[in-house]
Amino acid sequence: MIIQPRTRGFICLTSHPEGCAENVKKQIEYVKSKGQINNGPKKVLVIGASTGFGLASRISAAFGSDAATIGVFFEKPGTAGRPGTAGWYNTAAFETEATKAGLYAKSINGDAFSDEIKKQTIELIKQDLGQVDLVVYSLASPRRTHPKTGVAYASVLKPIGEHFTNKTVDFHTGVVTNISIDPVKEQSDIDNTIAVMGGEDWKFWIEDLKAAGVLADGVKTVAYSYIGPELTYPIYRNGTIGMAKNDLEATVATINDLLKDKNGVSYVSVNKALVTQSSSAIPVVPLYISLLYKVMKEKGIHEGCIEQMQRLFAERLYATDAQLDSEGRIRVDDLEMREDVQAEVAKLWAEVTTENIESISDLAGYRKDFFNLFGFEFEGIDYNQESDELTQVESIK
Ligand code: NAI
Ligand code: NA
Q: What is the DSSP string of 299-340?
A: TT----HHHHHHHHIIIIITSS-----TTS-EES-TTTT-HH
pLDDT band at 278 (very low <50, low <70, confident <90, very high): confident
Nearest to 51 by CA among 106, 89, 13: 89
Q: What is the pTM of this model?
A: 0.98
- Per-residue model confidence as pLDDT tens digits over 209-240: 999 999 999 999 999 999 999 999 999 999 99
Nearest to 155 by CA among 196, 201, 188: 196
pLDDT band at 397 (very low <50, low <70, confident <90, very high): confident
Find out whether 51 is annotated in a ligand binding site: yes
Ligand 1, pocket-test mutation among 51, 69, 335, most atoms within 8 A of CB? 51
- Per-residue model confidence as pLDDT tens digits over 98-118: 999 999 999 999 999 999 999
From ligand 1's centre to the CA of 141, what distance in Å?
7
Q: 211: left (phi > 0), else alpha (psi -120 to 50), else beta?
A: alpha
From ligand 2's centre to the CA of 169, what distance in Å?
24
Question: What is the spatial distance between Cα 311 and Cα 305, in angstroms, rounded to a whole number?
Answer: 10
Mean pLDDT of all residues in 293-317:
98
Mean pLDDT of all residues in 9-36:
97
In this prediction, the answer to ipTM > 0.90 reads yes
User: Is residue 138 a contact partner of residue 112, using CB atoms and an 8 Å limit?
Assistant: no
Ligand 1, pocket-test mutation among 12, 74, 135, 272, most atoms within 8 A of CB? 74
Q: pLDDT value at position 277?
A: 87
- First-to-final CA distance of the chain: 22
Strands 143-145 and 152-154 turn out to be antiparallel
- Per-residue model confidence as pLDDT tens digits over 46-57: 999 999 999 999
Any atom of ligand 1 within 6 Å of the Cβ of 57: no
User: Which CATH topology does 7-373 take?
Assistant: Rossmann fold (3.40.50)
From ligand 1's centre to the CA of 317, what distance in Å?
19
Locate the DSSP E strands across 115-245: 132-137, 143-145, 152-154, 164-170, 175-181, 215-225
Mean pLDDT of all residues in 331-347:
98
From ligand 1's centre to the CA of 162, what distance in Å?
27
Any atom of ligand 1 within 6 Å of the Cβ of 50: yes
- Per-residue model confidence as pLDDT tens digits over 377-393: 999 999 999 999 999 99
User: Which ligand has the shortest distance to the CA of 223?
Assistant: 1
Find out whether 320 is annotated in a ligand binding site: no
pLDDT at 150 > cutoff 90: yes
Ligand 1, pocket-test mutation among 74, 90, 278, most atoms within 8 A of CB? 278
- Per-residue model confidence as pLDDT tens digits over 116-130: 999 999 999 999 999
Q: pLDDT value at position 387?
A: 97
Mean pLDDT of all residues in 333-353:
98
Any atom of ligand 1 within 6 Å of the Cβ of 308: no
Task: Tell me the pLDDT of the chain averaged across its residues.
Answer: 97
Any atom of ligand 1 within 6 Å of the Cβ of 54: yes
- Per-residue model confidence as pLDDT tens digits over 166-190: 999 999 999 999 999 999 999 999 9
180: amino acid identity, one letter: S
User: Which ligand has the shortest distance to the CA of 271?
Assistant: 1
Mean pLDDT of all residues in 85-89:
98
Find out whether 52 is annotated in a ligand binding site: yes
Question: What is the spatial distance between Cα 241 and Cα 160, in angstroms, rounded to a whole number?
Answer: 10
